Structure 1
Amino acid sequence: MRIATRLPGERTLAEGDADKIAAIRGALIEIGTDWRARHPWLDAHQDQIGLAFFLVSIGGVIADAVLYGLGVLPWWATILLTAFWLSILHELEHDLIHSMYYRTNKFVHNAMMFGVWFFRPSTINPWVRRRMHLHHHKVSGTDSDLEERAITNGEGWGPHRTISLLDSFLGMYTKPFRIHQIAKTYVEHEASTPEEVRRLANIQRLAYFPLGLFHYTLWHLFIGISIYELIAGPASVPGIGVLTFLAVTILAPNAVRTFCLHFVSSNMHYYGDIQEHNVLQQTQVWTALWLKPFHALCFNFGETHAIHHFLVRDPFYLRELIKHDCQQVLAEHGVRFNDFGTFRRANRFALAPSTVEA
């Protein structure tokens, strides 16, 4: 088995953990390299494969909308099918953030970045998210990990966490001081000068502008009208037909997809009592059968994301192809599987944490 080079931060870890991480990374490199050797087109056409997934997924979203408009697809099937296509676009965004497609062709790369954002307007600007996500890899599970903490990782279960998973905007508005403190910690940790602190803080304030504001305004308007009609009966609202069409074809699919992703991601990442740079403690692997409906709408995130924490190199479709071999390596070296006690521990790694965030 190949032993991979330790990353700089891992040199401070206990020898046993550092050795395990290096062994895992080396094994994952071998597994991915073997697949590439047996299927050389995976390397030769990585850009084109990513673009194909991009075009097919957008085509699926548009086709679902057309079929719904023609009365062929019912509303519930439209929402679920479209959420599936959007989950692929999320994986593409994640790979694009790591510059896996069209690294040297900035026009195509940025066009794909805009496309995955345009069809997922409930998310933040992907160019803003890039810095947050790369920071997440450096400090996963610690106080400045804005990407995970903003989606409730580390928070005790209760009304606020439930609301936040269902609707990111409502989560921010119902506990504004929490998100402000998390963002402040991230900015102060990531920026190195007072000027950069101010600039990064301003960027964070505009992370949802303009698509996120557009999405949540229409989504909340639709929910409000629906609740009113449920109580008072049908109402004559100008443009309600267009709003309903948008709700079924893009707003609700994004809401469902986001909930599935955030539910899985916020609970399979650990927080608060882990050692910095210790990848063994950052994530677990979720393979339980009851998670299949969630995984169907976040492209098996809980089954494959731990692989990505150890080895960033491979695009999402390759991680899916090699996941069983990789999961065996992770299990052999002590990475946890299906640790659902994390729900009552508010994502703490220790099996009996002393404190959790309310």
Structure 2
Amino acid sequence: MSRQAISDLDRSRIQTIRAAISAASDDVRARHSWLRHQDAIGALIMALSIAGAVASGWAYVADVIPWYVCVPLTAVFLSFIHELEHDLIHQLYFRNSPRAYNLMMALCWITRPSTISPWVRKRMHLHHHKFSGTESDIEERGITNGERWGLRRLIMTGDNMLAVYLRPKTIYKAARAFVIAQNPQSEEELKQLAHEQRRGYFPLGLIHYAFWHGFVLFHLANGIALLFGSGIPLSSGMETFIAGLNTAAVVYMGPNMLRTFCLHFISSNMHYYGDVEARNIIQQTQVLNAWWLAPMQLFCFNFGSTHAIHHFVVKEPFYIRQATAKRAHAVMRENGVRFNDMGTFRRANRYAMADDAQPAIASTEVVDG
């Protein structure tokens, strides 16, 4: 089944939504002249977020706060950095300053090593905007969009490595479709694109997940051993290593895993997959802002409520989208964008409302819209 081209009615609705969002953004900027200092704002948010995460970690190490305060508090600071990375991918900060731009990108990855390299993600994300909802949309497929819900998807939602290991064929097909959609002009370019995909988590992601999985497996095994009477015996050197690993899990790895799970749960379920019309932005996403999602929204800067706005107008940073959300939501609702379509959990994120709808074969055809 091939996807239909976007209808004239939806083209008109998209233009109406875009115009309204842009007007709301212009009004916010007109009222607050300081918003024109976009580079400085981005740098300040980065500095404050890193300082907050470091302070939270220090407070835990100094026994000022317990682990169950440190982990969520640090995750909130890291969620700001995720939004900065997303804006940087769209070159909303330091467009004309390559050194500052790449420094910001590097800080995004260092503070969030559970993610793919932001330089690799940049190509994936820009592709996502062109081919959202198709098999070649490897960014969303990678975080479980389009999968049937169950224990396996729940586990994969918060762990990028397991999302690959538990679905090798799916990820291979998505990566292959993505590379082909890039339209490589030579065998050398094809190899370069394939190599880029393979090195996406090298080295920070691989290091992070090696330690994280080691932390989880050790405590799982030790817990089982304790059930039988005694924990796993450790040398003094291993005791020191495990103590350091425990600290890293609280101040660094754990907050990233919490943030990752919340973001991926929201993102993979607010995007549709498999049967959307080509370039029909109305069908690409919904607004997920139900009250019970608030705890998850906390760790991804209200992503479910504001990300659909970004699909219509990509040129505004995340804090502008938050400021214009009320006006944007009103016009989006009037023009057919869905709100809180919880049936997506039963339909494996298919757009069709019928619960038994079969996924369409994803096309990478581009229709101007």
Q: What is the TM-score normalised by the length of structure 2?
A: 0.91
Aligned twin of 1:231? 224
Equivalent pairs: percent with the same residue? 50
Q: Which amino acid aligns with 1:80?
A: P
* Cα shift readout 1:131-190 (whole Å, capped 9, x = no counterpart): 000000001111210100111111111232122113221121122111111111111111
C-alpha separation between the residues in 2 aligned to 1:253 and 1:203?
Answer: 27
Counterpart position of 1:103: 95
Equivalent position amino acid for 1:150 in 2 = G
SS of the residue 2:307 aligns to: helix
Matched, 1:293 2:295: yes
Larger CA deviation: 313-322 vs 156-165: 156-165
| Alignment coverage as a number of residue pairs | 345
Counterpart check, 1:22 vs 2:22: no
4+ residue segments displaced more than 6 Å: none
| 1:268-317 per-position Cα deviation (integer Å, ceiling 9, x unaligned) | 00011000110010000011100000000011000000000000011001
- 2:286 matched residue in structure 1: 284
Kindly indicate whether structure 1 or structure 2 has the higher relative contact order, using CA contacts under 8 Å at least 6 residues apart.
Answer: 2
Q: Deviations over 1:82-105 (max 9, x none)?
A: 111111100000000000011111
Q: Is the 8 A contact 2:262 2:297 kept in 1?
A: yes
Q: 1:201 aligns with which of 189, 194, 201?
A: 194
Contact 1:153 1:270 in 2 (8 A): yes
The partner residue of 1:355 within 347, 354, 358 is 358
Cα distance in 1 for partners of 2:162, 2:131 equals 26
- Between the aligned partners of 1:158 and 1:164, the Cα distance in structure 2 is 10
The one-letter amino acid of 2:198's match is R
The alpha carbon displacement at 1:356 in A equals 4.5
1:137 maps to which of 129, 133, 136: 129
Separation of aligned partners in 1, 2:107 and 2:211: 20
Equivalent position SS for 1:137: helix
Task: Indicate whether 1:75 and 2:78 are aligned.
Answer: no
2:49 maps to 1:57: yes
SS of the counterpart of 1:275? coil
Write out aligned runs for 1:1-358 (5 A). Answer: 13-43=6-36, 45-193=37-185, 194-233=187-226, 234-235=231-232, 236=234, 237-238=238-239, 239-352=241-354, 353-356=356-359
1: CA distance between counterparts of 2:286 and 2:326?
A: 15
Q: What secondary structure does 1:313 align onto? A: coil
Q: What amino acid does structure 1 have at the position aligned with 2:320?
A: L
What is the RMSD of the two structures over their aligned residues, measured on CA atoms?
A: 1.2
Q: Which SS does the other structure have where 1:285 is aligned?
A: coil
Structure 1 gaps of 5+ residues are: 1-11
Stretch moving more, 321-330 or 131-140: 321-330
Distance 1:32 1:211 in 2: 36
**1:183-214 Cα deviation digits (max 9, x unpaired):** 11111111322322211011100000000001
For 2:201, the aligned partner's letter is Y
Measured in 2, the distance between the counterparts of 1:281 and 1:197 equals: 31
- SS of the counterpart of 1:320? helix
Distance 2:183 2:258 in 1: 34
Deviates more, 1:348-357 or 1:78-87: 348-357
CA deviations over 1:314-342 (Å, ceiling 9, x no partner):
10011111111111111111100000000
| Distance (whole Å) between structure 1 residues aligned to residue 125 and residue 167 of structure 2 | 23
Contact 1:154–1:348 (Cα < 8 Å) also in 2: yes
Q: What SS does structure 2 have at the residue aligned with 1:243? A: helix
Q: Structure 2: how far apart are the matches of 1:34 and 1:152? A: 37
Say if 1:156 and 1:356, in contact at 8 Å, map to a contact too.
Answer: no
Distance 1:91 1:126 in 2: 12
Contact 2:158–2:262 under 8 Å retained in 1: no
Secondary structure of the 1:161 match is helix
Deviates more, 1:183-192 or 1:64-73: 183-192
